[in-house]
């Protein structure tokens, strides 16, 4: 299958800002605004009159390239068949006068007029007394796994999300970075379809925090290995269980998950069945798109990210192999 992506910048200067966003949605760590697309937008990938998040890099002063991670995670999600909201390269020349502001332009994943959305945090807060939603230290798999008997596709969903997050090294899948969509619930509260949200907010990943001049340090095998596997940093945000004593890394988490739910193994193997050639082909056009020196995606950074993805992929494959059949 050949995947097709929109490889041009989408300019949103004339898009209508959504003034309700600030009051209604939780403010996360990064600067972002919400806009409505125009009727009949030119790029065919853009939905007509639809909400989009314009999400900037966390600290534009020291990692202005971070927004690329959302765009790359979307393309990777398509490649491995794990749903991620479509993310494009957006340009806003109205955001700051006299400046070209680039960010990830991310499609809203539900229809505000018809559907309802429940954040994972609302649920965790109901179940765990004094749940600390700021730090999310009580976010744990032991509790979430029990939902398999009530919410369709719970194991399939997390098999996909754990694969994606382990591949990109996402350490930020906290309780408010997943949720449930109640499709049609606003139209008819008696008759709606419940599903998990796509994997959104993928920016804390792919070595975004490493400066280009420091890539060379990761040629040292020990350092790279520590970065990829040290349980203090190479780990899901979610704990395995509330009483977990020591943090476990991405791979140990996946091993335990597959031992607990053997049916997840072939699902994860399926997600992992992509080649470096395919990943390269999917991501190759990105460094050409933005020329602005401060925030373009350099080829060097893309290669570094690809190396990380494929090192992690190998570690995941080895983990799955060890789990038997
Ligand atoms: N594509 C999307 N569709 C619908 N809601 C979204 C989407 N992306 C983000 N949100 C909402 O906006 C909130 C903040 O966005 P997020 O991407 O998590 O930013 P941050 O990195 O600041 O946490 C999310 O918790 C979620 O409620
Ligand atoms: Mg978030």
Q: Mean pLDDT in each 10-residue stretch from start to end of the chain (325 residues)?
A: 91 92 56 92 96 86 92 98 98 91 97 96 94 95 96 97 98 97 96 97 96 97 97 96 94 98 98 97 96 95 98 98 86
Is 67's C-beta closer than 6 angstroms to any atom of ligand 1?
A: no
**Secondary-structure class of domain 116-275+305-322 per CATH:** mainly alpha
CB 207, CB 307: distance < 8 Å: no
Rounded to the nearest angstrom, the distance between the alpha carbon of 35 and the centre of ligand 1 is 13
Segment (H or E) for 16? strand 16-17
Burial of 134 per CB tally in 10 Å (0-12, 13-18, 19+): exposed
Whether residue 174 has its Cβ less than 6 Å from ligand 1: no
Q: Is the CB of 88 under 6 A from ligand 1?
A: no
Q: Could you report how far apart the first and last alpha carbons of the chain are, in Å?
A: 28
**248: closest CA among 228, 267, 263, 232?**
232
pLDDT of residue 24: 53
What is the model's pLDDT at position 58?
72
Q: What's the pLDDT score for residue 59?
A: 67
What is the pTM (predicted TM-score) of this model?
0.96
Cα–Cα distance for residue pair 251/313, rounded to 1 Å: 10
The reported pLDDT for the residue numbered 61 is 74
pLDDT the model gives residue 2: 76
Rounded distance from Cα 95 to ligand 2 centre (Å)? 21
C-alpha 32 – ligand 1 centre gap (Å): 9
């Amino acid at each position: 299958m050949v995947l097709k992506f929109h490889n041009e910048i989408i300019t949103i200067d004339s898009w209508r800002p959504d003034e309700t966003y600030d009051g209604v949605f939780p403010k996360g760590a990064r600067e972002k605004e919400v806009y409505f697309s125009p009727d009949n937008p030119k790029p065919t990938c853009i939905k007509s009159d639809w909400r989009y998040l314009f999400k900037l890099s966390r600290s534009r002063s020291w990692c202005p390239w971070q927004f690329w991670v959302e765009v790359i995670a979307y393309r990777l999600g398509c490649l491995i068949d794990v749903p991620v909201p479509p993310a494009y390269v957006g340009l806003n020349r109205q955001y700051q006068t006299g400046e070209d502001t680039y960010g990830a332009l991310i499609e809203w994943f539900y229809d505000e007029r018809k559907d309802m959305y429940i954040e994972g945090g609302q649920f965790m807060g109901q179940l765990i007394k004094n749940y600390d939603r700021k730090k999310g230290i009580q976010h744990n798999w032991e509790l979430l796994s029990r939902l398999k008997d009530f919410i369709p596709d719970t194991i399939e969903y997390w098999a996909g999300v754990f694969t994606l997050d382990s591949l990109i090294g996402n350490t930020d899948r906290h309780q408010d970075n997943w949720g449930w969509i109640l499709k049609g619930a606003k139209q008819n509260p008696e008759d709606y379809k419940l599903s998990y949200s796509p994997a959104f907010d993928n920016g804390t990943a792919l070595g975004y925090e490493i400066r280009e001049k420091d890539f060379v340090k990761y040629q040292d095998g020990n350092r790279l290995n520590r970065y990829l596997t040290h349980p203090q940093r190479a780990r899901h945000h979610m704990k395995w269980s509330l009483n977990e004593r020591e943090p476990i890394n991405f791979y140990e988490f996946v091993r335990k998950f597959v031992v607990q739910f053997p049916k997840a193994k072939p699902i994860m193997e399926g997600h992992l069945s992509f080649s470096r050639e395919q990943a390269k082909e999917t991501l190759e056009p990105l460094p050409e798109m933005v020329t602005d020196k401060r925030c373009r995606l350099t080829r060097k950074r893309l290669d570094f990210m690809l190396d990380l993805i494929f090192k992690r992929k190998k570690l995941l494959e080895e983990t799955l192999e060890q789990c038997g059949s």
